[in-house]
Amino acid sequence: MPRIEAVATVVPPHVVNQEESMLLARQFFQEAFPDIDRLLGIFSHSQIRKRHFCMPIDWFSQDRIFAEKNQLYVENAEALAVEAVSRCLEKALVPADTIDCLMFVSSTGIATPSMDSRLVNRLGLRPDITRVPLWGLGCAGGAMGLSRACEYARAYPQKRVLLVSVELCGLTFIRQDMSKSNLVATCLFGDGAAAVLVDGDEVATSSAVPRLSFCGSRTTTWPDTLDVMGWEVTEPGLRVIFSRDIPTLIKQSMKENVDSFLHPLDTSIDQLRHFIFHPGGAKVLTAYQQSLGISQDATRLSEEVLCNFGNMSSPTVLFVLEKSMEQHWEVGDRGLMAALGPGFSSELLLLEAR
């Protein structure tokens, strides 16, 4: 079974606390919403303390065109990706030229040549490396990317796969957009990057420390839910779309989805010791708890990531994974990774310490 050798995460330098972002949102949206004071309650209820951005807070006060935002995306995404990969390979004590496959996940900007090709040049990866760019997966991208990386390593057990996930959600902010979705976005989203090294089980290892092995995954895309989450391409850039019904959809559908995934793998929710959930928001984590019948402590690591970084879209669940791997996993422990994204889709992975 493929095994996760290392995870590393990075964030950009500009830190914005929730009080600062609330004051900025009041300035932006007060003329559009007479009940702005009531709406700004989402900031105090978000459980977010601070977030990180690649641009300083005053950058958001001006209208920006898509070309400017996307150029900033290319520059900053490349820099963050290089830092995340360097930390990941250093953790694993693995040289860059031993990587056989590079997967790059992002949905907050576009680049052709794709970002993975830029990393080949920056990181000294082999010219014959397999490259797999994945775009448009949104908040589910970290979990989906890890599933695809593990499946590749299972198909080619002698291969070493590097997954990189970068999102610069702050660069997608549209100053002119007076929608409630954009108001919520100013409260919720941040920037971040993560890198994960996955080895096939024929790749030699000298470590005696247990590793998290990949037992299986499941992608579910519910029909007629395309309007739940995503982007609308507009002149100023990528306009955020997400529904307030996401917690309700989790409560209605997640239990059956998880049970039907775990049953063929000879396990159940009550046998799981670890929960690695993408913290889409405080209400999303509460919906997971209620739907699956798990305690608030089960999602503690997800809540910590949400508090300190906000929702960074695809890499966020990999931040939770990094924290989970720093906890004590005993051999035989099993854990569930879960994330939701556009489609409307769910990605589930079962991991086991071996």
Residue entry with tokens 């409560």: 251
Give the C-alpha separation, 219 to 230, whole Å. 17
Q: What are 95's two structure tokens?
A: 């040289």
Specify the DSSP element, H or E, that contains 233: strand 229-234
Give the C-alpha separation, 99 to 97, whole Å. 6
Respond yes or no: is residue 139 known to be catalytic. yes
What residues have CB less than 8 Å from 108, skipping those under 6 apart? 73, 77, 167, 168, 169, 171, 172, 238, 313
CA atoms within 13 A on the CB side of 51: 32
Report phi then psi at 264, rounded to 5: -65, -15
Whether 104 contacts 148, CB under 8 Å: no
What residues have CB less than 8 Å from 229, skipping those under 6 apart? 138, 139, 241, 242, 243, 246, 340, 341, 342, 343, 344
- What DSSP character marks residue 329? P
Query: Which of 101, 139, 169, 187 is flagged as catalytic?
Result: 139
Q: What are 196's two structure tokens?
A: 């994960």
Whether 221 contacts 28, CB under 8 Å: no
Residue entry with tokens 């996760």: 4
Give the C-alpha separation, 62 to 176, whole Å. 9
The residues carrying an active-site annotation are 139
